Structure 1
Amino acid sequence: MSRRAAIRPLLAPARIRESFAVAAPPSLRNAAVAGLQTSLAVLIVVAATHLSPWAHLEGYPALGALAALFGRFAPAERRMPIVALAGLLLTAPLGLLSAVSMAGAAPATMLLCLALLAGVLSVLVNRWRIGAPGVVIFVFAACAGVGPVDSWRTVVERTAFTAAGAAVAWWICRASDSLRADPALPVATAADGARPALHAGIAGARIALCAATAALLALAAGWAHPAWAAIGATAVMQGTQLHITMHRAVQRTVGTVLGAGLAWLFLAHHPTFWWVLLAVVLLQFATELVIGFNYVFGLICVTPMALLMTSLAAPHATAGMPMARVLDTVLGALVGIAFALLFSTLDDRAHLAAHHEKARAG
């Protein structure tokens, strides 16, 4: 099947219906524990920072606290190393991009650096078998380093507070990880296998190119948050098959539109800091409970949570954020689908054709 011929089954109504299928998560208990650990870490680090002399940095430890999301299905002996590695991948890219920004890099250069990091992070996530929720979380955190930086002290503070959030997440996971044990969890899902190095490198290069294209298109369009388009493109490119890429694009678009609407309604009431923090904590926990059933459900919670976390880091930049998130997500999804099809192999397209015929027969 040619790439042109693959467009029809890729865009078939059946792919849309499949995108909304609901499935049971591998372990609701483990998801709930990971959500509770992350929510508690976010609550502690953000509240403590808000009450400190560094209240203007309160969004950064929240990013580090997301390390608690990782390793939820890993064996007990691997959980804490995975959380530690996740903390490193949340902190280092943010610090690196902040340093590049401080060095005077132009906006386009910053976006290219972000895209390159997205590719590198995808390779590291694969090599270190970090697993769900995957590279998108790390790219989201790295986006916080793209904006202007006024001093090297700010670079150090951003990095230090993100690392502190990751450290608190590690401590909370270590103290409560016994709650995560689930005897019903199949052994096969305990750890994610890694791709061969060559395949992972090629996939990383594709993600970097796709993220760069989406972000630069958003920048050329004059949109306020072009880095968010790189997040959307990276998320869509995580699909292992063409039809899964399409599912991700549909799910991410629909979930983001609905979630952005919730964020707009909430922000329109000009909530105080404590109401924003409470919403972030509740949305974080809700995300982990529902995302295993369908990615759409997760995005409905993730989108307002991400926007509210952004408002904590930049409280004066909330106007227009929900619509900007929708536009960037749609652009990232479209670019992601185009790149997935462009770089697809003959086997990928044959698998799509077989899947399409099976769906029609069923």
Structure 2
Amino acid sequence: MRESQGRVWTGVVRVGPGAGDHRVAIRAAIAVGVPLVVLWVIGRLDLSIYASFGAFAALYGRADAFGDRLRMQLSAGAVLLACMLVGTAMSVAAVAPLAAVAVVALLAAGITLLAYAMRWHPPGALFAVFAAGATATIPASLATVPLVVAVGGASTVFALVVTAVAGLVGARGRPAPSPRRSLQPVGALAGEMAVTVGVAAALAGVLGALLIGSHWYWAMVGAVAATGGAHMNARVIRGLQRLLGTLLGVLVAAGILALHLPPLAIIAVAVVLQAAAELFIGRNYGIAMVFVTPLALVMVALAAPSPVDLLLRDRVLETIIGVAAGTLVAVTSAALRRPRPAAEPVGCRGHDPGQGPIPHPGCGRRRPIR
């Protein structure tokens, strides 16, 4: 037990080596920053959250070959745009929070399978859940829908352009050709992952909506993060990193929001936070969360201003709920998946030093190990 706990805490604090993270950070900063500046120029920062989610397409395929990266970003960007439209539609229809939680949980399960089949990196449905949940809670009308398509779509396309230009410059105009990656077969493991994510997201969302009431989607995002990982230890590590990183990140966000910066300064801060997050997201998720948390709060504050104390409170409480729910479901899933002990033959333990094992008439019959 102590050895296992030691491995968990070692995983929580371990910082992996860098692997070209600065290039990804630069691409992400440009992909996020330019659309936000354009919206500031035209006086529509209320649409900033849709631009930010579209720009998240640039975060996919960081370690993949040029062609695979572009294809992955195209598919992920299309899914993020679709999730924004689903969330906006729920906002327009004034869907009740618990019903919205159910829809987002189904999206979480389905996109987990899609991400697995398409070999997305980062894997899973975390960004999609964030996009659908956040847009579902932002007031919208029918006139908002085409704006979501225009702003979110344009931001996604710009992210692809940034990736393409960076790839061409890095390869001096001739990126190495790469065979198209085939789809990954979806089997029992992927199905278990999807069910685990969907159940965890639903449980966290329901608890968040009932206990806190606002920003319930942060609980769902926390649950999805806590259920990510190939094995139990990885999931516990991810949950602890998200919780600890969020708590520290809230302190950073409190300092930033207390300054009451002008919009252009807030955009500059968001760009720096995005770049910093990408420098660490592949090395230590907890450190990355120290930057992701204030970035998320700044995004929400730009699009739908709320009292700062409410934002900070909700972020902490919803994250605690989400990580707890996700870890509970992950542990339960692992316990249900664990194989039962094998039975042993009756009477097959007899042994004669000179003759070897002594057969027993009942040998071969099975009985459960006590």
> Common fold, TM-score beyond 0.5?
yes
**1:194-233 counterparts in 2 under 5 A?**
194=184, 196-233=186-223
- Superposed CA offset, 1:266-293 (max 9, x none): 1011111111111110111111112222
The 8 Å contact of residues 10 and 246 in structure 1, kept in 2 or not, is answered as: no
* Residue 335, structure 1, aligned to residue 325, structure 2: yes
* Residue 56, structure 1, aligned to residue 49, structure 2: no
Give the counterpart of 1:16 among 4, 9, 12. Answer: 9
Shift of 1:77: 1.9
Shift of 1:99: 1.1
Provide closer, same or farther for how the CA distance between residues 150 and 94 of structure 1 changes in structure 2, counting only shifts above 3 A: closer
* Residue 282, structure 1, aligned to residue 272, structure 2: yes
Percent identity between the two aligned chains: 28
**1:143-292 counterparts in 2 under 5 A?**
143-147=133-137, 149-178=139-168, 194=184, 196-292=186-282
Q: Larger deviation: 340-349 or 48-57?
A: 340-349
- Superposed CA offset, 1:316-343 (max 9, x none): 4544212211111111111111111111
- Distance in 1 of aligned mates of 2:25 and 2:123: 12
The 8 Å contact of residues 119 and 205 in structure 1, kept in 2 or not, is answered as: yes
Provide closer, same or farther for how the CA distance between residues 23 and 347 of structure 1 changes in structure 2, counting only shifts above 3 A: farther
Shift of 1:53: 5.1
- Distance in 1 of aligned mates of 2:129 and 2:87: 11
Aligned residues between the structures = 332
Q: Larger helix proportion, structure 1 or 2?
A: 1
Provide closer, same or farther for how the CA distance between residues 315 and 149 of structure 1 changes in structure 2, counting only shifts above 3 A: closer
The 8 Å contact of residues 85 and 148 in structure 2, kept in 1 or not, is answered as: yes
Partner SS state of residue 137, structure 2: coil
Residue ranges of structure 2 left out of the alignment (5+ in a row): 172-179, 341-370
Choose between structure 1 and 2 for higher RCO, CA contacts under 8 A separated by at least 6 residues.
1
Pair member with larger Rg: 2
Give the counterpart of 1:293 among 274, 280, 283. Answer: 283
Task: State TM-score, norm by structure 1.
Answer: 0.85
Provide closer, same or farther for how the CA distance between residues 10 and 133 of structure 1 changes in structure 2, counting only shifts above 3 A: farther
Q: Larger deviation: 165-174 or 95-104?
A: 95-104
1:356 paired residue number: none
Shift of 1:69: 0.7
Provide closer, same or farther for how the CA distance between residues 107 and 11 of structure 1 changes in structure 2, counting only shifts above 3 A: farther
Residue ranges of structure 1 left out of the alignment (5+ in a row): 1-7, 182-189, 351-362
Task: State TM-score, norm by structure 2.
Answer: 0.83
